[in-house]
């Protein structure tokens, strides 16, 4: 393979006069009256293009270089030089331009004009070649790295929780079924499905959360985290829900609710700071073209303490609000996204709400002494709403057993989870952070479908 230089590296280089090879895609071409052409090449390593000068004396100038259009792939050999022109510091004076792949300008869908995000979703196989989606991909990569670094630096162990499960963490009915049964055949028989003939001999699902398995490992290894895909078959077509999304789930033994909130706040601040420092060009792009307040919003989050209040206090604030809500706030009802927005605006910073009524939260959350609320915590972000959901876990066997029964779940399905409370139980806590919602915060992109490469939503499984 020919040794190529990445454009990200070249644009920082002062190695003028050296011979370089670059490989990438033509963004634009401009032919000069002086009988030579300017090519803007991008290779995905940075949002910046590199300018290539192709002289008319080159052997394939008329037959090939003049025919290049946006989207063609090229291999360019040339000399790195200081650029006399405006807008760039360096350029490549080509000695060879080889066309790797042509495209037909009449059918190539990415022309120089700006396309709507809706349209780009229909060409998800080509959208990574746009400035926006290239930047999303680079930031997604950097944000993943920042998350791993955050936990690794603190001694957390990365746990691979299973994707296929036989249990239901959130106790809700929104799971995708996994089966090898002949569904066509089943339809004709009617009646109850016999799962004994299925692959696992019992019903199986795609996981909605790695939490229960993370608790197993936290109660042996101390601090662990998972970071993987999770699946929810909820039929919600919103700007912040996906059927397949990535979740970060730390779980800590000997950790209470307050320390859990502290970790959530530290994780958000630390990863945001990493992106501001390490993805500067891409963040500047989003700040210019997507949300003019992006950098100042991120700065405000990094530099202020998160507000902490209980659910009961939050409801009091909502009841006093002059605003007319679609859903009237009431103690015992869930906090709706319009309420989340109001609370973040009220405090002008992220808000951690704790101690929700037990009736509206899952079985595994630790019941408070009042027997009415549980040690739950949600972290809400301005413009995004809920980014983190978590809790201190119920560590007392009998209480947990009752909660499982109250939730109409079968204790037999949770025998191993209950067993942990019989053998060396400990106070422990954890949370789940929605990775795509953090991506929305960092990019300012309002639709969650635009921060994941191939979004899965109801009735949408192209690509």
Tokens of 273: 């700071």
Interaction of residue 434 with ligand 4AD, rule CB under 6 A: yes
- The stretch among 41-49, 130-138, 276-284, 428-436 that binds ligand 4AD (CB under 6 A) is 428-436
* Complete DSSP assignment for 111-178: -SS---HHHHHTTTTTGGGSHHHHHHHHHHHHHHHHHHHHHHHTTPEE----SEESS-TT-SS---EE
Interaction of residue 232 with ligand 4AD, rule CB under 6 A: yes
How many residues does this entry show for the chain?
463
Which pairing describes strands 351-357 and 307-310: parallel, antiparallel, or unpaired? parallel
Least separation, in Å, of the C-beta of 233 and ligand 4AD?
A: 10
Contact positions with Mg ion (CB under 5 A) in 389-448: 389
Least separation, in Å, of the C-beta of 371 and Mg ion?
A: 22
Interaction of residue 52 with ligand 4AD, rule CB under 6 A: no
| CA dist 389 → 70, 128, 361 (Å) | 45, 31, 10
Interaction of residue 209 with ligand 4AD, rule CB under 6 A: yes
* Complete DSSP assignment for 53-86: EEETTSTTTTTTGGG--TT-EEEEEEEEEE--ST
Q: Which residues pair with 223 in a beta bridge?
A: 252
Q: Which of 40, 91, 170, 265 touches ligand 4AD by CB under 6 A?
A: 170
- The stretch among 4-12, 67-75, 297-305, 434-442 that binds ligand 4AD (CB under 6 A) is 434-442
Q: Which of 40, 249, 265, 282 touches ligand 4AD by CB under 6 A?
A: 249
Which pairing describes strands 373-381 and 385-392: parallel, antiparallel, or unpaired? antiparallel
Helix, strand or coil for residue 47? coil
Q: Which of 71, 350, 432, 444 touches ligand 4AD by CB under 6 A?
A: 432
- From the list ligand 4AD, Mg ion, none, which binds 432 (C-beta under 5 to 8 Å, kind-based)? ligand 4AD
Interaction of residue 198 with ligand 4AD, rule CB under 6 A: no
- From the list ligand 4AD, Mg ion, none, which binds 170 (C-beta under 5 to 8 Å, kind-based)? ligand 4AD
Nearest CA among 394, 449, 390, 460 for reference residue 421: 394
Could you give the strand order of the β-sheet that contains 385-392, starting from the edge strand earlier in sequence?
Answer: 157-158, 223-231, 244-253, 428-434, 385-392, 373-381, 351-357, 307-310
- The stretch among 105-113, 124-132, 287-295, 386-394 that binds Mg ion (CB under 5 A) is 386-394
Tokens of 391: 């809790």
Contact positions with ligand 4AD (CB under 6 A) in 362-391: 386-390
Least separation, in Å, of the C-beta of 463 and ligand 4AD?
A: 18
Under the rule (CB under 6 A), what is the footprint of ligand 4AD?
169-170, 209, 211, 232, 241-242, 245, 247, 249, 386-390, 430-432, 434, 436-437
Under the rule (CB under 5 A), what is the footprint of Mg ion?
389
């Amino acid at each position: 393979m020919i040794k190529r230089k990445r454009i990200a590296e070249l644009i920082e280089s002062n190695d003028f006069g050296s011979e370089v090879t670059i490989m990438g895609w033509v963004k634009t071409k401009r032919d000069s009256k002086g009988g030579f052409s300017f090519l803007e090449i991008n290779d995905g390593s940075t949002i910046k293009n590199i300018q290539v000068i192709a002289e008319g004396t080159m052997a394939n100038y008329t037959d090939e270089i003049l025919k290049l259009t946006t989207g063609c792939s090229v291999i360019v050999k040339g000399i790195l030089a200081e650029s006399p022109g405006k807008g760039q510091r360096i350029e490549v004076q080509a000695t060879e331009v080889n066309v790797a792949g042509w495209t037909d300008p009449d059918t190539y869908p990415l022309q120089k004009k700006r396309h709507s995000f809706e349209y780009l979703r229909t060409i998800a196989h080509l959208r990574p070649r746009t400035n926006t989606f290239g930047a999303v991909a680079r930031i997604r990569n950097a944000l993943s790295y920042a998350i791993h670094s955050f936990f690794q630096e603190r001694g957390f162990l990365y746990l691979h929780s299973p994707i296929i499960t036989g249990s239901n963490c959130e106790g809700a009915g929104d799971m995708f079924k996994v089966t090898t049964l002949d569904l066509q055949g089943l339809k004709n028989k009617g009646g109850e499905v016999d799962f004994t003939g299925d692959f696992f001999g019992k019903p199986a699902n795609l996981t909605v959360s790695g939490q229960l398995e993370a608790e197993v490992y936290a109660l042996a290894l101390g601090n662990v985290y998972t970071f993987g895909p999770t699946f929810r078959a909820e039929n919600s077509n919103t700007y912040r829900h996906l059927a397949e999304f990535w979740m970060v789930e730390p779980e800590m033994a000997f950790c209470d609710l307050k320390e859990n909130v502290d970790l959530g706040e530290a994780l958000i601040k630390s990863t945001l700071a990493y992106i501001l420092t390490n993805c500067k060009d891409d963040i500047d792009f989003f700040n210019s073209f997507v949300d003019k307040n992006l950098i100042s919003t991120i700065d405000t989050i990094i530099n202020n303490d998160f507000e902490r209040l209980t659910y009961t206090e939050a409801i009091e604030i909502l009841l006093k609000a002059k605003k007319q809500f679609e859903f009237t706030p009431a103690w015992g009802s869930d906090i709706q996204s319009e309420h989340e927005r109001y609370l973040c605006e009220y405090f002008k910073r992220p808000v951690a709400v704790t101690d929700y009524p037990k009736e509206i939260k899952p079985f595994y959350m630790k019941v408070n002494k009042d027997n009415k609320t549980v040690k739950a915590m949600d972290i809400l972000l301005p413009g995004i709403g809920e980014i983190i959901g978590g809790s201190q876990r119920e560590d007392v066997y009998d209480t947990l057993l009752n909660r499982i029964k109250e939730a109409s779940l079968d204790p037999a399905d949770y025998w191993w989870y209950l067993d942990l409370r019989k053998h060396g139980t400990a106070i422990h806590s954890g949370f789940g952070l929605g990775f795509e919602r953090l991506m929305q915060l960092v990019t300012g992109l309002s639709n969650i479908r635009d921060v994941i490469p191939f979004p899965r939503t109801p009735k949408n499984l192209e690509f």
